[in-house]
Structure 1
Amino acid sequence: MSVELRHLRAFIAVATEGNFRRASERLHIAQPALSRTIRDLEQLLEVQLFERTTRSVTLTAAGRAFLPEVSDLLEHVTAAIRVARRVEEGDLGNLSVGFNDFAINDSLPKIIRDFRSRHPGVEIELRSMSSPDMADALRKRRLDIGFLSGEHLLAGLQYEVLRRERLICLLPSGHALAGSRTIDLTALAAEPFVLGATGSWDTFIDVVDAFCMSGGFRPRVVQEAANSDGIVNLVAAGMGISIYVDAAWLKVREDVVVRPFRQEPPPVASVAAWHPDLKSKALQNFIAVARETLS
């Protein structure tokens, strides 16, 4: 037999109340059972904790020294239980979230805001990554969830398609084609292109290349940019045109023009993906907020 929490709770109740009857009522146990628990504790410790008379119960010197230590211990245990329960319920913990430019420039900020307002105890680490790197990190469990492009990358992962992105033509204001309501893909054959950087944007570049090849040409890339802002700013500066995804934030700019294609472009799937073995409540809550935000 070893010292258990019930021994310590019984000791604190008797020490606080100074009376076995009141302590037993506080603990909702019979008085004889409480007396046995205290005797067992004293035998285990080989220390007398109480001086007992027919009229009173007082702490011995050993009991007085024992009381604050036990009280601190139970407070720590209670706090530990509370933390464990909050983690189990998804209200406390950490989430690592990967994203590409499409996600962070459109839906992800709102998802993060909505999630943090409901679960402020969960720390979120955001990591900007290419879609292939993100898929690899998810398979190795180095990320909890990733917002990426391309369903073909997701073998072995659980995922949900959040949206089918539509390709558009992005032109500098004042461009000769900016007055057209729709853009014929073949009209871009001789145009200089601004695209994402090779390596980090390969998944999207493959889609753009395939679309252009369906129009009989390869895009003539004259500038590369590391992120979406760079692409848009280079287009705005007149360095070239681009094929990008339709996004609301583009339409508030006056220095670029967004136009749909006459041809039907291939869809680009934006997905949320996670490892099937990760089942934390915090992750489930995050996925639920993402679904709700994007519905």
Structure 2
Amino acid sequence: MNIDTRIKFRHLLCFLEVARQGSLARAADQMAVSQPAISKTLKELEDLLDASLFDRSKSGVSLTEAGLAFMRYAGPCVQALRDGVNSLREGEYAAGMVRLGVLSTVEGLLVPEVVRRLHERHPALVVSVLTGPSAYLLSQLRVGELDLVVGRMTESPEIQGLTFEHLYSESMTLVVRPDHPLLAQGREGRSLEGYPLVLPLAGTTIRKHADSLFVQSGISPPRQRLETLSLTLSRRYVMSSDAVWIAPMDAVRLDLRSGELAELDLGLQEPGGSVGICSNASLPLSLAAQWCVEVLRDAAADYREGRLP
């Protein structure tokens, strides 16, 4: 079957924006056009494909099975065309760009080192980093808005259909401020009950590993807790309170080494999960993204061997 030449670039852009926003009105705002124009363009595409791409409801729109199938190809197609245009331009595009989705588990240690090495090897390279929950980052990877996603995400349902490369395993640990009352007690007498807890957001991959520590300790999470993926907020709150932070080792390694935080030994051990690189196999990696993968592998090897700062 030949590709219908009536399918235009604007049809693909409209489809992807509606899928991204989950709303015709929000997609219209993002594309600076009227909602009727969005509806008309979307209907044209569905007529040309002879398929319904979205289910409509009062709360918005969601992709149909046909829409999900079409999105696997529409996103990479649009991004490939953008890359082709950019490769012919000079000036700001000549340097190349890699777009990384970064989970909180790696933004404190691994990724800064990766960016440093990338700029050392490729001085003109632009590295664009987007942080957030794995579900959001993987959805952006799927539609071609990101080149790679780095972090702990193997248990996220959104990873289905994407490619994952393991880099290293990372453990969880419990940390407190250096003069925390629990540090003066013997390990056998320590209990987390009565102290505020800092946890990853509910529903995230890393939260599942944090919750397993509660199962091991036989206690229920207290009502007083902070749930966040922000390392900056978590760090400052723990340093200024009696809170206990259940944190990925990558996020606190330097703080433990400098003495700004202290590890709380309760005789528990949670091995954590697999940290790695997720990519969209249906979209060929740009040269800049390939450079990034190489550096990620090198930095991860140093991490496993304990050679990172």
SS of 1:147's equivalent in the other structure is strand
Give CA deviations for 1:42-79 in whole Å, capped at 9, x if unaligned.
xxxxxxxxxxxxxxxxxxxxxxxxxxxxxxxxxxxxxx
Shift, 1:231, TM fit: 1.0
Q: How does 1:82-93 map to 2 (within 5 A)?
A: 92-93=95-96
Correspondence for 1:193 among 193, 197, 204: 197
Whether contact under 8 Å (1:196, 1:231) holds in the other structure is no
Correspondence for 1:272 among 260, 274, 277: 277
**Paired residues, number:** 210
Whether contact under 8 Å (1:169, 1:259) holds in the other structure is yes
Counterpart of 2:142 in structure 1: which amino acid? R
Whether contact under 8 Å (1:110, 1:293) holds in the other structure is yes
Give CA deviations for 1:210-233 in whole Å, capped at 9, x if unaligned.
320232222215242451121122
Distance 1:218 1:185, change over 3 A: farther
Correspondence for 1:238 among 232, 241, 245: 241
How far apart, in 2, do the equivalents of 1:98 and 1:257 lie?
29
Shift, 1:293, TM fit: 1.8
Whether contact under 8 Å (2:216, 2:268) holds in the other structure is no
Distance 1:144 1:112, change over 3 A: same
Whether contact under 8 Å (2:176, 2:261) holds in the other structure is yes
- Residue equivalent to 1:98: 101
Q: Percent identity?
A: 18
Q: Is residue 2:121 matched to residue 1:115? A: no
Superposition TM-score, scaled by structure 1 size: 0.62
- Residue equivalent to 2:211: 209
Correspondence for 2:155 among 148, 152, 155: 152
Unaligned runs of 5+ in 1: 1-79
Counterpart of 1:164 in structure 2: which amino acid? S
How far apart, in 2, do the equivalents of 1:241 and 1:118 lie?
40
- Residue equivalent to 1:174: 179
SS of 1:178's equivalent in the other structure is helix
Shift, 1:285, TM fit: 1.5
Q: How does 1:226-265 map to 2 (within 5 A)?
A: 226-246=229-249, 247-265=252-270
Q: CA RMSD in A?
A: 3.2
Correspondence for 2:298 among 287, 292, 295: 292
Shift, 1:282, TM fit: 2.0
How far apart, in 2, do the equivalents of 1:180 and 1:277 lie?
55
Distance 1:252 1:186, change over 3 A: closer
Distance 1:163 1:185, change over 3 A: farther
Whether contact under 8 Å (2:170, 2:271) holds in the other structure is no
Counterpart of 1:99 in structure 2: which amino acid? V
Shift, 1:197, TM fit: 4.7
Shift, 1:191, TM fit: 3.0
Unaligned runs of 5+ in 2: 1-83, 302-309
Correspondence for 2:289 among 278, 283, 294: 283
Shift, 1:136, TM fit: 1.8
Superposition TM-score, scaled by structure 2 size: 0.59
How far apart, in 2, do the equivalents of 1:142 and 1:227 lie?
22
How far apart, in 2, do the equivalents of 1:184 and 1:97 lie?
43
- Residue equivalent to 1:45: none
Whether contact under 8 Å (1:186, 1:215) holds in the other structure is no
- Residue equivalent to 1:73: none
Distance 1:179 1:168, change over 3 A: farther
Shift, 1:288, TM fit: 0.6
Counterpart of 2:173 in structure 1: which amino acid? I
Distance 1:250 1:168, change over 3 A: same
Counterpart of 2:300 in structure 1: which amino acid? L
How far apart, in 1, do the equivalents of 2:223 and 2:170 lie?
22
- Residue equivalent to 2:34: none
SS of 2:213's equivalent in the other structure is helix
Shift, 1:162, TM fit: 2.0
Shift, 1:252, TM fit: 4.0
Shift, 1:84, TM fit: 5.0
Distance 1:226 1:267, change over 3 A: closer
Larger radius of gyration: 1
